[in-house]
């Protein structure tokens, strides 16, 4: 895929942020986004492979190639880079589950040079006659978590029925939309808004003293919360008229503020850039931003929950100015702070 | 699959959306972009799961492409048509 004039595309705004972040730290594999789907039961392996390959043929972003030999980095879709599914038989190994986890971990933690290597890979790891893992790893240049989910749903749809549904939407829609925004007057207004809002932003910190740097990997711990806390959270959300994830975000921010013993804390809230955009149907690296919200010490947890619009800054960032008004109306005074290229995969 | 979603009307959609956004229903026009009222992905998910509980299965990606009441209403009607309702 090239532009209508046959030239490669420039990077989108979202990609450009990631590009320079990766260039600053080329050995950091943090931009490898990966999904593993554990499948138990009868699987028609040939049919699954056909579905996965067909979805990969539709998802143009997974076959992007990048080049930075010119003044600015450029990209185009190269059919040779499409991630055809690799079948890996681990069923005769001693502990197939452990081997599979080790393969996936090793792949995910291997940094990619986007100018030389493929951005995407998918494998079907066969652990036994009724046990499989479908592993998909894509560099964040090519897609984000939402795009991964779209891709997964498409594979499932094609596996269920070869007639199945509409193909994934073309990448050009996303690239053209991004190009139009970059040339628009609105982009200048948005940039001015955020520069002004961020003028006095403090440097990033963590819970521990010292400057915060990006990690190579992240950890996730899933634990159920007890009934009392759950009910309390839902009741508080109801009384504030806010979705519970927003309230939980506010409470987490207050927790961080207390630990940092700071007058205020600024937290990053992923903001989905796909709403109201053709990109809602395209696996790609979207214009998601991390919008940061400042929470002051003077507000008790409940009030700050009321003032946190959560991912409320939607679409392009300029809609935030409307939100400032909304929050004032709610009797709070949240300070909106910056937005930076997202490291999240929202 | 439940197909009993006949009770959902355009006005019910408007009421649900308005409640989620803290607006009065009459403020929200059929073709207005709901993002301008503070709709975000979390609130959209909440709405989708609320309607799903009533047997109306709307895909998040479809809701996200064009967040207006009139386009969401068309999604509801299309689903109703597919279910033979």
- At A246 the pLDDT is 79
List chain B domain ranges: 10-82
Residues of chain A with C-beta less than 8 angstroms from the C-beta of B17 = none
Containing structural domain, residue A55: 9-168
pLDDT in tens, A119-134: 999 999 999 999 999 9
- At B60 the pLDDT is 86
Instruction: Please tell me whether residues A108 and A243 are part of one structural domain.
Output: no
Enter the ipTM: 0.71
Average pLDDT across chain A, whole number: 79
Proportion of chain A above pLDDT 90, given as a percent: 40
Summarize the confidence of residues A55-64 as an average pLDDT.
Answer: 95
Residue that wins the pLDDT comparison between A130 and B43? A130
Q: Is A149 a member of any domain?
A: yes
Task: Point out the residue among B39, B44, B61 whose CB comes nearest to the CB of A281.
Answer: B61
Instruction: Please tell me whether residues A164 and A17 are part of one structural domain.
Output: yes
Residues of chain B with C-beta less than 8 angstroms from the C-beta of A313 = 40
Does A243 contact B at CB distance below 8 Å?
Answer: yes
Helix (H, G, I), strand (E, B) or coil at A339: strand
Helix, strand, coil content of chain B in percent (nearest 5): 60, 0, 40
Q: Do residue A278 and residue B67 have CB atoms under 8 angstroms apart?
A: no
- At A336 the pLDDT is 33
- At A235 the pLDDT is 93
Instruction: Please tell me whether residues A200 and A155 are part of one structural domain.
Output: no
- At A312 the pLDDT is 33
Q: Do residue B36 and residue A241 have CB atoms under 8 angstroms apart?
A: no
CA A121/CA A35 separation, integer angstroms: 11
Instruction: Please tell me whether residues A96 and A238 are part of one structural domain.
Output: no
Instruction: Please tell me whether residues A235 and A336 are part of one structural domain.
Output: yes
Q: Is A333 a member of any domain?
A: yes
Q: If pLDDT is split at 50, 70 and 90, which confidence band does B2 have? A: very low
Q: Do residue A280 and residue B64 have CB atoms under 8 angstroms apart?
A: yes
Instruction: Please tell me whether residues A15 and A162 are part of one structural domain.
Output: yes
Q: Do residue B46 and residue A315 have CB atoms under 8 angstroms apart?
A: no
Residue that wins the pLDDT comparison between A114 and A303? A114
To the nearest whole Å, the CA of B3 is away from the closest chain A CA by 20
Residues of chain A with C-beta less than 8 angstroms from the C-beta of B39 = 275, 314
Summarize the confidence of residues A82-107 as an average pLDDT.
Answer: 97
To the nearest whole Å, the CA of A2 is away from the closest chain B CA by 24
Proportion of chain A above pLDDT 70, given as a percent: 79
Q: Is A298 a member of any domain?
A: yes
Q: Within 13 A of A122's CA, how many CA atoms are on the CB side?
A: 26
Task: Point out the residue among A276, A312, A322 whose CB comes nearest to the CB of B67.
Answer: A276
Q: Do residue A243 and residue B44 have CB atoms under 8 angstroms apart?
A: no
Q: Is A14 a member of any domain?
A: yes
Q: If pLDDT is split at 50, 70 and 90, which confidence band does A41 have? A: very high
Summarize the confidence of residues A84-113 as an average pLDDT.
Answer: 96
pLDDT in tens, A240-269: 877 788 788 888 888 888 887 777 777 777
Instruction: Please tell me whether residues A232 and A321 are part of one structural domain.
Output: yes
Summarize the confidence of residues A40-57 as an average pLDDT.
Answer: 96
Q: If pLDDT is split at 50, 70 and 90, which confidence band does A118 have? A: very high
Q: Is the per-residue pLDDT at A209 higher than 90?
A: no
A341 Cα distance to chain centroid: 11
To the nearest whole Å, the CA of A146 is away from the closest chain B CA by 10
Residue that wins the pLDDT comparison between A319 and A85? A85
Instruction: Please tell me whether residues A212 and A256 are part of one structural domain.
Output: yes
Proportion of chain B above pLDDT 90, given as a percent: 38
Chain B contact probe: residue of A312, A316, A317 with most B CBs at under 10 A: A312
Residue that wins the pLDDT comparison between A288 and A78? A78
The enclosing domain of A48 has a CATH number of 3.30.559.10
**Other Cβ atoms within 10 Å of A254 Cβ, number:** 20
- What does CATH list as the number for B10-82? 1.10.1200.10
Summarize the confidence of residues A204-208 as an average pLDDT.
Answer: 72
Residues of chain B with C-beta less than 8 angstroms from the C-beta of A272 = 40-41, 64
Task: Point out the residue among B22, B35, B62 whose CB comes nearest to the CB of A319.
Answer: B35
Q: DSSP character for A212? A: -
Chain A contact probe: residue of B21, B23, B36, B41 with most A CBs at under 10 A: B41
Give the residue ranges of DSSP H helices in A161-299: 171-182, 185-197, 227-240, 244-260
Q: Is the per-residue pLDDT at A111 higher than 90?
A: yes
Instruction: Please tell me whether residues A140 and A234 are part of one structural domain.
Output: no
Q: Is A194 a member of any domain?
A: yes
- At A18 the pLDDT is 87
Q: Is the per-residue pLDDT at A335 higher than 60?
A: no
To the nearest whole Å, the CA of A270 is away from the closest chain B CA by 10
To the nearest whole Å, the CA of B9 is away from the closest chain A CA by 22
Instruction: Please tell me whether residues A199 and A327 are part of one structural domain.
Output: yes
Q: Is the per-residue pLDDT at B16 higher than 90?
A: yes
Residues of chain B with C-beta less than 8 angstroms from the C-beta of A309 = 38, 40
Instruction: Please tell me whether residues A13 and A145 are part of one structural domain.
Output: yes
Contact A338, A292 (CB under 8 A): yes
- Total number of domains in chain A: 2
- At A117 the pLDDT is 92
Average pLDDT across chain B, whole number: 85
**Other Cβ atoms within 10 Å of A154 Cβ, number:** 23
Q: If pLDDT is split at 50, 70 and 90, which confidence band does A293 have? A: low
Instruction: Please tell me whether residues A17 and A142 are part of one structural domain.
Output: yes
Q: Is A181 a member of any domain?
A: no
Q: Is A177 a member of any domain?
A: no
């Amino acid at each position: 895929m090239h532009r209508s004039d046959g030239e490669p595309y420039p990077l989108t705004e979202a990609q450009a942020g990631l590009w320079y972040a990766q260039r600053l730290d080329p050995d950091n594999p943090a931009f490898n986004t990966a999904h593993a789907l554990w499948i138990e039961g009868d699987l028609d392996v040939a049919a699954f492979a056909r579905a996965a390959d067909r979805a990969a043929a539709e998802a143009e972003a997974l076959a992007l190639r990048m080049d930075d030999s010119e003044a600015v980095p450029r990209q185009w879709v190269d059919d040779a880079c499409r991630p055809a599914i690799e079948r890996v038989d681990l069923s005769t190994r001693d502990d197939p589950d452990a081997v599979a986890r080790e393969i996936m971990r090793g792949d995910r933690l291997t940094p990619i040079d986007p100018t030389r290597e493929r951005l995407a890979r998918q494998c079907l790891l066969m652990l036994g006659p009724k046990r499989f893992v479908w592993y998909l790893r894509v560099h964040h240049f090519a897609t984000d978590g939402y795009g991964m989910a779209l891709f997964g749903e498409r594979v499932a749809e094609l596996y269920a029925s070869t007639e199945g549904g509409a193909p994934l939407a073309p990448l050009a829609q996303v690239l053209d939309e991004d190009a139009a925004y970059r040339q628009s007057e609105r982009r200048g207004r948005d940039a001015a808004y955020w520069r002004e809002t961020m003028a006095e932003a403090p440097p990033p910190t963590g819970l521990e003293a010292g400057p915060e740097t990006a990690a190579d990997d992240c950890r996730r711990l899933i634990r159920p919360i007890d009934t009392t806390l759950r009910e309390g959270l839902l009741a508080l959300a109801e009384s504030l008229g806010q979705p519970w994830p927003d309230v939980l975000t506010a409470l987490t921010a207050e927790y961080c503020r207390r630990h940092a013993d700071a007058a205020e804390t600024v937290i990053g809230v992923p903001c989905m850039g796909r709403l109201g955009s053709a990109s809602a149907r395209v696996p790609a690296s979207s214009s998601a931003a991390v919008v940061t919200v400042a929470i002051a010490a003077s507000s008790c947890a409940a009030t700050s929950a009321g003032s946190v619009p959560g991912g409320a800054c939607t679409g392009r960032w300029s809609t935030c100015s409307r939100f400032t008004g909304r929050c004032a109306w709610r009797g709070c005074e949240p300070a909106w702070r910056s937005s930076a290229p997202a490291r999240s995969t929202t | 699959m439940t197909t009993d979603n006949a009770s959902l009307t355009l006005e019910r959609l408007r009421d649900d959306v308005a409640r989620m956004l803290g607006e009065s229903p009459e403020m929200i026009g059929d073709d207005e972009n709901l993002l301008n009222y503070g709709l975000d992905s979390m609130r959209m998910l909440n709405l989708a799961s609320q309607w799903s509980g009533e047997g109306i299965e709307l895909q998040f990606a479809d809701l996200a492409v064009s967040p207006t009441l009139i386009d969401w209403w068309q999604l509801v009607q299309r689903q109703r048509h597919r279910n033979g309702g």
